[in-house]
Amino acid sequence: MWKYIKSHLYDLVGEYFREFRFVFHDGGIVLFFLFLPLAYPVIYSLIYNPEVVRDVRMVVVDHDRTARSRELVRNLDACQEVWITGYASDLHEAQRAMHEHDCYGILEIPEGFSRKLGRGEQSPAAMYCDMSLLLRYRGFLVAATNVAQEMGAELLAEKIDSEIPIATTISTGDPLPIENVSMGNIENGFDSFVMPGVVVLILHQCIILASGMAGGARRENPGLTGYGAAVRPRSTSMAMAGEMLCYITILIVPIIFLLHYIPLIFSFPMAGDPAEIFMFILPMVIACLGLGFCFQAVVWERESVFVLWVATSVAFLFLSGLTWPRYAMPGFWRFVGDLVPATWGVEGFIRMNTNGATLAQVRTEYINLWILAAVYLVAGYCVRRWVIRPTLWARPRK
């Protein structure tokens, strides 16, 4: 019994150090394990800074030309989201300015705007926006909504005061003020919204692709990478465990940098407990390694992993629910998303790091990650035992 345990421990330790030598002698694997998780989040975060689009250029077409219409324009220009660059004589001139990118929005005030407001009627003003960037549209919409609410409250107060003068002391200002509190994203910024999920996706992809590339490198030249028949391990499970321990050891620094220091450097929300976050991310890392072992069945060359990068990166992004809510997806795509470790990792990490949830409050995601880890490790074992092992160690052990 002791001899059996000793031989398996020997395989585990031997595979652990052999994999270390193998990884750090392969520039491609080092690139995926260290450079990508350290460089990508910094580049993405810098691209999306500043988080909020401000002073977006807008042109006004004022057919009314009254004090009330000019007040609307002044209030809109006072908002941080909008910069009124000037007036156009008609809508065609304003459209020409938009086509030449001199502005990204048009405000058209109809004739009779002030007169209708004076009679207590609705007087809508049309706003046109360049939809090539949704952040511009969002800024215009927020500014126009806030100005319309404030002017509407002032008009209501004036009307009440004209009919019942004493009512001014009772009701002034907005009768139904709305205060928007964006939980988990105080800045209302795009960077704080998307990057907490993106860092998990970056970690997810780097692990899968690095482990997949390792499988392709072994198949290209087993003898060169130290995986000839003379070093065939006795136990496939111990070989997998040694490789996993090696990869997890290498990933400690990138994981800490991704999940803790990236939010700290760029002032993203950090409401969760770091220890619980790292406990939560552990099964996702194991599940990703298991999925990477499964991908080794189809990666026969090192370069083949780049095909997987192209085929899976965008798909995993959409399935995670970052760009489209998962509850609005068809049942089939929700099921496919459930099979991706990053889906549960993104949901749980955002709830913990952004909204301050505890590990117990994300137990559904945590349990699902452990289930995926077990499933992919079993599948990875089958791939290693009956697909990869015969190709790496074709000659019988003497």
Supply the pLDDT for residue 398: 37
Give the separation between CA 290 and CA 386, rounded to whole angstroms: 15
The fraction of the chain above a pLDDT of 70, given in percent, is: 84
Q: Name the residue with tokens 């459930």.
A: 338
CA separation for the pair 58, 82 (Å, rounded): 7
Give the C-alpha distances (Å, rounded to integers) separating 355 from 60, 169, 323: 40, 41, 19
Mean pLDDT of 219-241: 65
- Model confidence pLDDT, tens digit, residues 108-121: 998 888 888 877 77
Mean pLDDT of 212-227: 69
Instruction: Give the CA distances from residue 299 to residues 30, 226, 238, 240, in Å, rounded to whole numbers and listed in that order.
Output: 18, 19, 22, 17
| 286-302 tens-digit pLDDT | 999 999 888 888 777 77
The pLDDT confidence band at residue 395, using thresholds 50, 70 and 90, is very low
Residues 196-219 have a mean pLDDT of: 87
Residue 21: left (phi > 0), alpha (psi -120 to 50), or beta? Answer: alpha
Cβ-based neighbour number of residue 14 at 10 Å = 15
Question: Which range (54-58, 144-148, 394-398) has the least confidence?
Answer: 394-398
Place of tokens 């505890």: 358
What pLDDT sits at residue 362?
A: 94
